[in-house]
Amino acid sequence: MIIGEISAVWEHADLTERTIEHLWMFSVALVIAVILGVTIGIVLYRHRSWAEPALNGLNALETFPDMALLILLIPIAGIGEVPTIIACIIYSLLPITRNTYTGLVSIRQEIVDTGTALGLTEREIVRKIRIPIALPMIAGGIRIAIVFTMGIVTLGGIIGAGGLGAPLQTGIMLIIPPLIITTGLWVGILAVILDGCAGIVEKRLTVRYGEW
Amino acid sequence: MVAPEVVIAATLQQVVLVYASLAVSIAVGIPLAVAALSSRTLERTIITFANLVQAIPTFAVVAIVVPLIGIGFWPAIFAIMLRALLPIVKNTWIGLSSVDPAAIDAAAGLGLTHWQTTRYIRFPHAYPAMFAGIKFAAILANSVAILTAIIGSGGLGTLVFEGLAGINVTTMLAGALPAIGIAIMLDVSFTRLEHRLTTGEQGRQTSTTPS
Amino acid sequence: MNPIHPFENIDRIEIRNLTKTYGGVTAVSDVSFDVIGGELLVLIGGSGSGKTTTLRMINRLIEPESGSVTINGTDTREFDEVMLRRNIGYVIQQIGLFSHMNVSDNIGLIPKLEGWGRERIEARIHELLEMVDLPPEIFASRYPRELSGGQQQRVGLARALVMNPPLFLMDEPFGALDPILRKQLQDEFLTIKNDIGRTILFVTHDIDEAFKLGDRIAIMDEGELVQVGTPEELIFHPKTDQVAHLVEADRKYRHIESFTVQDLMTPVSKRQFFDVATPVSEVVEQILSDAIGFVIIMNGRNVVGTASRHEIIRKRLQSLTLGDITSEPMLVSPDDVAVPVLQEMKRKNASFALVVTTDGAVSGTLIPDSVLFHII
CATH 3.40.50.300 range(s) for chain C read 12-257
Alpha-carbon gap: B34 to the closest alpha carbon of chain A (Å)? 26
Average pLDDT over residues B142-154: 92
Chains C and A make contact, 3+ CB pairs within 8 Å: no
For A2-23, b/e burial (b = at least 16 CB within 10 A) is eeeebeebbeebebeebbebbb
Amino acid at residue number C60: R
Print the domain residue range for B125. 4-200
Q: What percent of chain A has pLDDT over 90?
A: 49
Residue A143 predicted with pLDDT over 50: yes
Interface test with A, best of B14, B15, B18, B56 (most A CBs within 10 A): B56
CATH (residue range C263-375): 3.10.580.10
**Which uninterrupted H or E stretch holds C363?**
strand C362-366
Amino acid at residue number C142: R
Give CA separation, A156 vs A150, A182, B98, B166, in Å: 10, 18, 40, 17
Using a CB-CB cut-off of 8 Å, the residues of chain B touching C110 are: 110-112
Tens digits of residue pLDDT in A102-133: 888 888 788 888 888 888 888 887 777 888 88
Could you tell me the CATH number of the domain that includes residue B169? Answer: 1.10.3720.10
Measuring CA to CA, which residue among A158, A144, A160 is closest to residue A194? A144
Query: Do the beta carbons of residue C98 and residue B103 sit within 8 Å?
Result: yes
pLDDT at C254: 64
Tens digits of residue pLDDT in A147-162: 999 999 999 999 989 8
Nearest 10 degrees: Cα torsion A13, A16, A22, A27: 180
Q: Return the DSSP state at B152.
A: T
Q: Return the DSSP state at A158.
A: G
User: Cβ of B60 and A168 within 8 Å?
Assistant: yes
Could you tell me the pLDDT band of residue B200, with boundaries at 50, 70 and 90? low
Dihedral of alpha carbons A31, A37, A41, A42, sign:
positive
* Strands lying side by side in the sheet with C25-36: C25-36, C12-22, C66-71, C74-75
Average pLDDT over all residues of chain B: 88
Could you count the other beta carbons within 10 Å of the beta carbon of residue A51? 19
Could you tell me the pLDDT band of residue A192, with boundaries at 50, 70 and 90? very high
C66-71 vs C74-75, strand pairing mode = antiparallel
Query: Do the beta carbons of residue B79 and residue B61 sit within 8 Å?
Result: yes
Q: How far apart are the C-alpha atoms of A33 and A41, rounded to whole Å?
A: 12
**Surface-to-core class of residue B209, CB atoms within 10 Å of its CB (0-12 exposed, 13-18 middle, 19+ buried):** exposed
pLDDT at C2: 54
DSSP alpha helix (H) spans, B111-168:
114-117, 123-147, 156-165
pLDDT at B208: 40
Q: How far apart are the C-alpha atoms of C354 and C294, rounded to whole Å?
A: 11
C-alpha C202, offset from chain centre: 11
Closest residue to C85, CB basis, from B100, B111, B203: B111
CATH 3.10.580.10 range(s) for chain C read 263-375
pLDDT at B209: 38
* Strands lying side by side in the sheet with C330-332: C330-332, C353-356, C362-366
pLDDT at A23: 94
Q: How far apart are the C-alpha atoms of C76 and A81, rounded to whole Å?
A: 73
Average pLDDT over residues B15-32: 94
Q: How far apart are the C-alpha atoms of B46 and B35, rounded to whole Å?
A: 9
Closest residue to C92, CB basis, from B106, B111, B124: B106
pLDDT at B202: 45
Alpha-carbon gap: C2 to the closest alpha carbon of chain B (Å)? 17
Could you tell me the pLDDT band of residue B207, with boundaries at 50, 70 and 90? very low
Q: Is residue B58 part of a domain?
A: yes
Amino acid at residue number C269: S
pLDDT at A144: 93
Query: Do the beta carbons of residue C41 and residue C203 sit within 8 Å?
Result: no
List the Cα angle B135/B137/B142 in 5-degree steps: 100
Surface of C (132-151) touching B: CB under 8 A: 143
* Contacts (Cβ under 8 Å, ≥6 apart) of C308: C293, C294, C327
Query: Do the beta carbons of residue B143 and residue B175 sit within 8 Å?
Result: no
Give CA separation, A164 vs A4, A30, A183, A186, in Å: 20, 17, 7, 9
Q: Is residue B207 part of a domain?
A: no
Query: Do the beta carbons of residue C262 and residue C281 sit within 8 Å?
Result: no
Give CA separation, C91 vs A103, B53, B106, C135, C171, in Å: 41, 44, 7, 21, 6
**Which uninterrupted H or E stretch holds C216?**
strand C216-221
Using a CB-CB cut-off of 8 Å, the residues of chain C touching B105 are: 61, 92, 96
Amino acid at residue number B77: I
Alpha-carbon gap: B111 to the closest alpha carbon of chain C (Å)? 5
Closest residue to B64, CB basis, from A71, A157, A180: A180
**Surface-to-core class of residue B203, CB atoms within 10 Å of its CB (0-12 exposed, 13-18 middle, 19+ buried):** exposed
Q: Which residue of B has its CA nearest to C57?
A: B109
Tens digits of residue pLDDT in B56-109: 999 999 999 999 898 889 999 999 999 898 899 989 999 999 999 999 999 999
**Which uninterrupted H or E stretch holds A5?**
helix A2-12
Average pLDDT over residues B172-183: 93
Size of interface B-C (CB pairs under 8 A): 66
DSSP alpha helix (H) spans, chain C:
51-58, 81-86, 103-113, 118-131, 136-139, 149-161, 179-196, 207-213, 231-236, 241-246, 261-264, 280-290, 309-314, 338-348, 368-375
Give CA separation, C148 vs B106, C131, C257, C278, in Å: 18, 18, 31, 70
Instruction: Look up the ipTM and state it.
Output: 0.87
Query: Do the beta carbons of residue B17 and residue B77 sit within 8 Å?
Result: yes
Query: Do the beta carbons of residue C331 and residue C226 sit within 8 Å?
Result: no
* Contacts (Cβ under 8 Å, ≥6 apart) of A162: A18, A21, A22, A25, A80, A81, A156
Tens digits of residue pLDDT in A23-81: 999 999 999 999 999 999 988 988 888 888 888 888 888 889 999 999 999 999 988 99
Could you tell me the pLDDT band of residue B45, with boundaries at 50, 70 and 90? confident
* CA atoms lying within 13 Å on the CB side of residue A163: 30
pLDDT at C249: 60
Measuring CA to CA, which residue among A120, A47, A32 is closest to residue A81? A32
Q: Look at A17 and A145; give whichever has higher pLDDT.
A: A145
Q: A2-209: which CATH number, 3.40.190.10, 1.10.3720.10, 3.50.50.100, 3.10.310.10?
A: 1.10.3720.10
Q: Return the DSSP state at A130.
A: I
Q: How far apart are the C-alpha atoms of C359 and B39, rounded to whole Å?
A: 66
User: Can you tell me whether residue C171 is helix, strand or coil?
Assistant: strand
Report domain C12-257's class.
Answer: alpha beta
Q: How far apart are the C-alpha atoms of A204 and A135, rounded to whole Å?
A: 10
* Stretch among A25-29, B119-123, B171-175, B201-205 having the lowest mean pLDDT: B201-205
Residue A191 predicted with pLDDT over 90: yes
pLDDT tens track of chain C, all 376 residues?
455 667 777 788 899 999 999 888 888 999 999 999 889 999 999 888 899 999 999 999 999 999 999 998 889 888 888 999 999 999 999 899 999 999 999 999 999 999 999 999 999 999 999 888 899 999 999 999 999 888 999 999 999 989 888 899 999 998 878 888 888 888 888 877 776 678 899 999 888 888 888 899 999 998 999 999 988 888 888 888 888 888 776 566 666 777 888 888 888 888 888 888 888 888 887 777 666 778 888 888 888 888 887 788 888 888 888 888 888 888 888 888 888 888 888 888 887 788 888 887 888 888 877 777 777 6
Surface of B (130-159) touching C: CB under 8 A: none
DSSP per-residue letters across C279-312 = BHHHHHHHHHHHT-SEEEEEETTEEEEEEEHHHH
pTM of the model: 0.74
Query: Do the beta carbons of residue C61 and residue C88 sit within 8 Å?
Result: no
**Which uninterrupted H or E stretch holds C32?**
strand C25-36
Could you count the other beta carbons within 10 Å of the beta carbon of residue C142? 16
Measuring CA to CA, which residue among C278, C263, C277 is closest to residue C364? C263
Measuring CA to CA, which residue among A156, A160, A205, A199 is closest to residue A28? A156
Give CA separation, C320 vs C1, C285, C296, in Å: 70, 15, 16
Q: Is residue B29 part of a domain?
A: yes
Interface test with B, best of A22, A67, A69, A197 (most B CBs within 10 A): A67
* Strands lying side by side in the sheet with C302-308: C273-275, C294-299, C302-308
Interface test with C, best of B104, B105, B110, B205 (most C CBs within 10 A): B110
pLDDT at C232: 82
**Which uninterrupted H or E stretch holds C326?**
none
Q: How far apart are the C-alpha atoms of A39 and A48, rounded to whole Å?
A: 14
**Which uninterrupted H or E stretch holds B29?**
helix B4-38
Count: domains in chain B? 1
